[in-house]
Amino acid sequence: MTRVAGPMTDRAEYERIRAAHLDAVQAALDDHVGRLDWTAEQIRAHRDRRLRSLLAYARERSPFYADRLRGLDISAATVADLGSIPMLTKEQAQGDWDAIVTTSGLNRETAEQILNEQSWFSYTRGDQQVFSSGGSSGVRGVYVWDWEFFISTACLAWRMQARAERRGQSVKDARLAVLSAGVPPHASTPLFDVPTVAGMQTVVIEAGAPFDEVLAAVEQCAPTHLVGYASVIGRLARASLAGDLKIRPCRVSTNSEPLLPEDREAIVKAWDATLHNLWGSTELGVQAVGCGQGEGLHICEDEVILERADDTGAPVAPDEPAVRTLATGLSNRTFPFVRYDLGDEITLITEPCPCGSAFARVADISGRHDDDFVYGPHSVPASAFRHVLGTDARIVEYQVVQTDAGADVLVVATGDAQSLVPALVSALRRHGVADPSIRIRAVQTLQRHQASGKLKRFVPLPGR
């Protein structure tokens, strides 16, 4: 039986295991870089084989999928057969956690214990990593990444950049600044703190820190490569244009938030750097990455299947309107996601990409965006609220409504959430709000958009 319970509590032990993991990523990059030159036929054949392998494994090891996949001829299954499988919602994935997970000895209670006990990122004794996130939907999720899934996800995140580096576009004394969550339990730090070239130095900078602290840390790092939340990098670019930041990165990678046109324009104007945008999720890892040459993002079709679907989850034709995007991840055997409702909206790009890749493309994702709250001269990023609310085990779902002096927080919770008030007050004070007023109120349900069913998680005051 695989032993999985309990995190590694020794930071040095974690770093040793992570070093081995990063070596495995570097070794696997050769294969992943090579895949970028595959033909469409090679991509389809590989994808169908991986799909059959995933479905067979999930049916044998997961009680949830044993029931859901009953009657499907997996030995002959292709992407076209996915439409016969019910879609998976986030509420179902979190509510049926113990029935979905395929590893003996790992359940939701154990996963929560790992999150509560770890003082830093950790591996289980079965080499899994456990993360939690409030996500874009506002529903707290707990996720487990196995050893091979991290390798695959890291390769998807970095292979476009790695190919360019290997084609002679590398720089000497490479330094990577990683603007991410910075601390557990969010997956962004382990995923993006990955060197793409030999000898590259990396520095992790907390993206949710007050902006003057972020600015100073980035300037001190003087990065040749920059990766992180799109809105933060956009703001850094505008600081460079204003003369407040003197850096010259040659390669920039944005993630975790929609890359708005004004941020893209500022990044290109400030640094004239190759820009790779990334679309991912904690559930699926990386769904699509920009090549830095053509518009939009190349879908990682070798590891992720994306379906445009109607309101019932039925697939729709490329030229028909879609209500939702369903994703099937082909790499994570420990916690499979089959036809998972991502909630994002995608638009396919049918024209060939100038880079020559046969991987399909989607337009930059713009279906979601977290608004900062502005209090006079002070701006508070959504991440300041999200790190407190989205990672607490008692919070099932939340919505933050800005007030003149702070915020009203509505929570669907399994316990008393009033103890979170001091942490939220501290977060606002850190961003310059002198005397914030935070009220937390427990509710049975949160009001969602009547037509789309989406939750507006952060509601700013009108005109802010």
Query: How far separated are the first and last CA of the chain, in Å rounded?
Result: 55
The per-residue pLDDT for 133 is 81
pTM over 0.85: no
The per-residue pLDDT for 366 is 61
Q: How many residues does the chain have?
A: 464
Q: Which domains can be identified in the chain, with CATH numbers?
A: 1-368 (3.40.50.12780), 373-459 (3.30.300.30)
Sequence-distant contacts of 28-37: CB under 8 A, at least 24 apart? 28/151, 28/152, 28/155, 29/155, 29/158, 29/159, 29/162, 31/155, 32/155, 32/156, 32/159, 32/162, 33/159, 33/162, 33/163, 33/166, 35/159, 35/302, 36/159, 36/160, 36/163, 36/357, 36/359, 37/357
Query: For residues 448 and 458, what is the distance between their CA atoms, to the nearest angstrom?
Result: 12
Query: Which pairing describes strands 395-402 and 458-459: parallel, antiparallel, or unpaired?
Result: parallel
Q: Can you say whether the dihedral through the CA atoms of 70, 71, 74, 77 is positive or negative?
A: negative
DSSP state of 64: H
Residues 61-71 have pLDDT tens digits of: 999 999 999 99
The per-residue pLDDT for 172 is 84
The per-residue pLDDT for 7 is 53
The per-residue pLDDT for 384 is 85
**Cβ 391 vs Cβ 140: under 8 Å:** yes
Query: For residues 287 and 304, what is the distance between their CA atoms, to the nearest angstrom?
Result: 6
Q: The tokens of 425 are what?
A: 């007050």
Query: For residues 27 and 168, what is the distance between their CA atoms, to the nearest angstrom?
Result: 19
Report the candidate in 182, 184, 185 with the shortest Cα–Cα distance to residue 193: 182
Mark the ranges of the chain whose per-residue pLDDT is less than 50: 1-4, 367-370, 450-454
Residues 358-392 have pLDDT tens digits of: 999 999 876 443 467 999 999 898 878 887 887 78
**Residues contacting residue 76 through CB under 8 Å, at least 6 positions apart:** none
Residue-wise burial string across 166-202, b where 16 or more C-beta atoms lie within 10 A, e elsewhere: eeeebeeebbbbbbbbbebbbbbbbbbbbbbbeebeb
Which DSSP helix (H) or strand (E) runs through 162?
helix 147-164
3-state secondary structure 197-262: CCCCEEEEEECCCCHHHHHHHHHHHCCCEEEEEHHHHHHHHHHHHCCCCCCCCCEEEEECCCCCHH
The per-residue pLDDT for 8 is 52
Query: Which pairing describes strands 201-206 and 458-459: parallel, antiparallel, or unpaired?
Result: unpaired
